[in-house]
Chain A
Amino acid sequence: MAGPDLRLGVDVGGTHTDAVLLDRAGSIVAKVKTATTVDVTTGIETAIASLLVSSGAAPERITHVMLGTTHATNAVLERRGLERVAVLRIGGPATYAIPPLFGWPEDLRRAVSAGECIVNGGAEFNGDELAAFDGDAVRRFVGSLPDDVRHVAVTSVFAPVLAEHELAAAEIIRALRGDHVHVSLSHEIGSLGLLERENATVLNEALVGVAQAVTSAITQGLASTGLAHAVVYFAQNDGTLMSIADAVRLPVLTIGSGPANSIRGAAFLTGVRDAIVVDVGGTSTDVGVLINGFPRESSFGVSIGGIATNFRMPDLVSIALGGGTVVREADGVVNLGPDSVGYQLTERARIFGGDTWTVSDVAVAIGRAHFGSVGVASSEVMARALAIVDEMVADAVDRVKLSKGEFPLIAVGGGSVLLSDKIPGISEVLRPDDFDVANAVGAAIGTISGQVDRIYQTSSRTRDEVLDEARSEAIAQAVRAGADPHYVEIVELEDIPIAYMTNPAVRVRAKAAGPLAGL
């Protein structure tokens, strides 16, 4: 018997659960697409069982399981399963002007907040003490909380520079409430920008229960399919992995993992490290950018469920265009969507004998794609509809680019057969085999990263010294998280001088990544 030599990548999306088996060489041994189930476990069991049958592989051969899920995102959007969180800010007297959760949608605030408090403390941008840490005030706040409150989110001013006061508060909270209290600390979650980092930290803590439920459902699914021995990792929003323990502790970091996985998968399937990636689904299309093998991240914080946050997500342009997008014509004017038949494509589209004209019908009629069971004839209206499709894609591609010049484009996702081979500003369109499971492949790649985002004083040290320190810190973090120390490398390094300061200071962002050790 061969092995142990396989790893399993699973992407649990809103409608489909995709799964792939990769061998040591990175070749795809088997793949499957099944419907996502409400209880998660059943869907995963079905996908794994089907992979094991089609590959003929024994479960013992699978060493690692990598998962991408959208549960955290959906829980916030639907305000479902969220924990009640006590919100502690260490930022007096510097931040009283805007209290925690100010400006949150009222329903979400009601669902999440178990009380809010600002106590003295925090750091200056150079790590000096902003105000003495008021531990007694923390004790009073924690003491005032109802007994059933088991979640606390802690955010202190300039925690990305110095986290001391957050750590001190966590110690006090644990001493008072014992081991059953769960605490999120902002310096582990977001970068500069107090309010956005605080929001992300509160959301993170609110998602802990959802994360626990998902991980236990998945562990159960693995156990019942003979995979209890496999080491489990979760995909996060930069396309790298975190341990199951971190996924439960930092669930908010999984929120952008879907698009990140498809971009990383596209890189893996083509071997290209710099490209535009277009992921066409049934309802929408995400256009992202691959730089040095990783998704380009947005330079501004993203809003989730109406809340401003500042953790970094893949920089995407999303358009309402997919294989199921409905095509209409009235008085000679052709319109696309924004509605889609979605997962009902195989029932409602004309090429499957249905009664609705979709973008898929158009692509088949014009001869760009070849699928379906019923022939459809080409027409003037269809030619115009396809021209609109091409224009929407070209526009999105152009928006996502950061400079002039031509780039290759990688087409992934089930609907990507709709894409033209000629797109303005694109040197060539790459269509990898297994384009339809790029998400699951992206999860299975198995890269671990470490990040630093800090302000450094440059009056007493040279820029190179500062950059060196940031580099080694990012590498050390990646290794701590499980990266192979022999192969970990710096994949991103950026220094931004800080405006309006007489003392020179610079904000440095460094990111190191490497393959999972022992893979």
Chain B
Amino acid sequence: MLLDADTLRAQARGCGILGAGGGGSPAMGLLASLRALELHGPTTLVDLDDLPDDELVLPMGMVGAPTVAVEKIANGGEARWIVERVEEVTGRKVAALMSSEIGGANGLFPMEFAGALGLPIVDADGMGRAFPEMPMVSMEIAGISPSPCVMSDERGNVLIVHPADGAWLERLCRATAVAFGGRAVSSEYLMSVAEARTGAVRGTVSLAIRIGRALDHAEGDPVEALLREVNGFRLIEGKVVDVDRRVTGGFTRGSAQIDGLRADSGRQLRLELQNENLVALEGERVLATVPDIITVLDTQTGDAVSTELLRYGQRVTVIAFPCDPVWRSEGGLRLTSPRAFGYDFDFRPVEEIHRGRA
């Protein structure tokens, strides 16, 4: 499939939904990929089955502070400098790029990177959603090494790091992003096409596009159209009545309360956040938890409302839908279950919690 302007716009809406409230706004990534489209023509979206087994797939994304990224947009050459170094260091050919995180801003930027390089982009990513830390990717669970990690800034500085494990990847990359002036483009968990077929979360770019198109073409209730596309559940339709947000340890943490309206009148839902929406609670009852995807939607348009844009009075619908099965595996839950985020209860799949409900 060729990623034309309409497709990229639909994808941006979908990446917002898959962000689970985090991942940053896809808007700037969309502008950058539309610009790449104007300069280089459309990027090709390929399936991993259609690429040679032993060539490389490069997961890529932006890391750093969103406040910096709104000023230092990007050079546009970062991906090229990274690919050149990777091919030099590994002696292998790069077949395609991949988004390391489909949810939010990083769902779109790799489209620009691939467009500028004339490389295809694979229909897959490392999360199937957004997560706050770099090692929270399916490749980590599949046992693929984060090393080498190749990072570039907008001047052409390239740093190759060989982190010992995922935790060190996170520490070293953050520090490097700061040294680069607050943001960097990074590629890590490089893998062969054969490894990617089982190590990546597949079909997520086309999923984002389908979600965006479902919203674009919805007749009647856009939320309903979206729920059908993602096999999701409507947790509550209501109004944001309280938002409590603070930044600690580099992360936005807090909670939001939504009071039900219309059919949900009288109900109350509490969302707990750490960059992404982590847990949805009704009283003591858990309605959905990470790693399943909890997204707040504008009730009228069906578009995602990110955690930093939540505010009193918004009319919203909170939905939840199943994450990729990799996150429900033992290794996945070790990284991203409610307990991994400090809660004292276990993960339960959203479709099990809501069994019997449409």
Contact = CB atoms under 8 A, between A and B. Distances in A.
A404 B67 CA distance: 30
Majority secondary structure of chain B interface residues (helix, strand, loop or mixed): mixed
Interface string A389-429: 00000000011111110000000000000000000000000
Nearest to B182: A125
A401 B313 contact: yes
A195 B247 contact: no
B65 A501 contact: yes
A168 to B, nearest CB: 18
Interface string A3-24: 0000000000000000000000
A503 B241 CA distance: 33
Contact of B73 (A97, A497, A501): A97
Contacts of A102: 31, 34-35
Contacts of B239: 398
A500 B35 contact: no
Given A500-B64, A503-B178, A398 B313 contact: yes
B64 A502 contact: no
Interface in A10-48: none
A99 B76 CA distance: 11
Nearest to B246: A497
B71 A192 contact: yes
A130 B250 contact: no
Contact of B252 (A125, A157, A195, A499): A499
Given A103-B34, A130-B181, A502-B175, A404 B242 contact: yes
Interface string B299-321: 00000000001011111000000
A500 B75 contact: no
A1 B303 CA distance: 65
Interface in A495-510: 496-503, 507
A97 B71 contact: no
Interface residues of B, number: 45
Interface string B58-77: 00000111111011111111
B52 interface: no
A103 B311 CA distance: 28
Contacts of B241: 404
A93 interface: yes
A98 interface: yes
A375 interface: no
A403 B259 CA distance: 13
A477 interface: no
Given A125-B71, A401-B312, A501-B178, A94 B154 contact: yes
A124 interface: yes
A193 B34 contact: no
B174 interface: yes
Contact of B65 (A195, A398, A403, A500): A500
Given A399-B313, A402-B311, A98 B73 contact: yes
B242 A128 contact: no
Given A157-B72, A502-B174, A503-B178, A98 B28 contact: yes
A498 B252 CA distance: 9
A96 interface: yes
Interface centre among A95, A98, A124 (most CB of B within 10 A): A98
Contacts, number: 124
A102 B154 CA distance: 19
Nearest to B315: A399
Given A93-B155, A402-B311, A404-B241, A507 B67 contact: yes
Contacts of B181: 124-125, 128, 130
Interface string B40-84: 000000000000000000000001111110111111110000000
B256 to A, nearest CB: 13
Contacts of A438: none
A496 B308 CA distance: 12
A71 B250 CA distance: 44
Contacts of B156: 93
Interface string A85-102: 000000101111111001
A455 interface: yes
Contacts of B312: 401-404
B341 interface: no
Interface in A63-115: 91, 93-99, 102-103
A245 B74 CA distance: 37
B112 interface: yes
A202 interface: no
Given A124-B182, A499-B251, A94 B73 contact: yes
A466 interface: no
Contact of A94 (B63, B75, B177, B250): B75
B281 to A, nearest CB: 19
Interface string B80-110: 0000000000000000000000000000000
Residue of A97, A131, A398 ringed by the most chain B CB atoms within 10 A? A97
A125 B178 CA distance: 10
B32 interface: yes
A326 B74 CA distance: 50
Contacts of A122: 71
B250 A502 contact: yes
Contacts of B315: 399
B73 A194 contact: yes
B131 to A, nearest CB: 13
Given A93-B75, A401-B313, A402-B313, A192 B67 contact: yes
A31 B173 CA distance: 64
B32 A97 contact: yes
A455 B67 contact: yes
Contacts of B66: 499-500
Interface string B229-261: 000000000010110001100111000000000
A292 B236 CA distance: 35
Nearest to B257: A404
A435 interface: no
Interface in B201-254: 239, 241-242, 246-247, 250-252
Contacts of A455: 67
Nearest to A317: B313
Contact of B31 (A94, A103, A193): A103
Given A102-B35, A124-B182, A125-B181, A96 B76 contact: yes
Interface string A473-499: 000000000000000000000001111
Contact of A499 (B31, B67, B76): B67
Given A97-B35, A125-B181, A498 B67 contact: yes
A357 interface: no
Given A96-B75, A192-B67, A193-B71, 4 more contacts: A94-B74, A158-B71, A399-B314, A498-B65
14 contacts: A94-B72, A95-B75, A98-B73, A122-B71, A125-B67, A125-B68, A157-B71, A194-B73, A195-B70, A398-B313, A399-B314, A498-B65, A498-B67, A499-B252
> Which are the 9 A-B pairs with shortest beta-carbon distances?
A97-B76, A97-B74, A94-B154, A497-B247, A94-B72, A500-B65, A124-B181, A95-B73, A402-B312
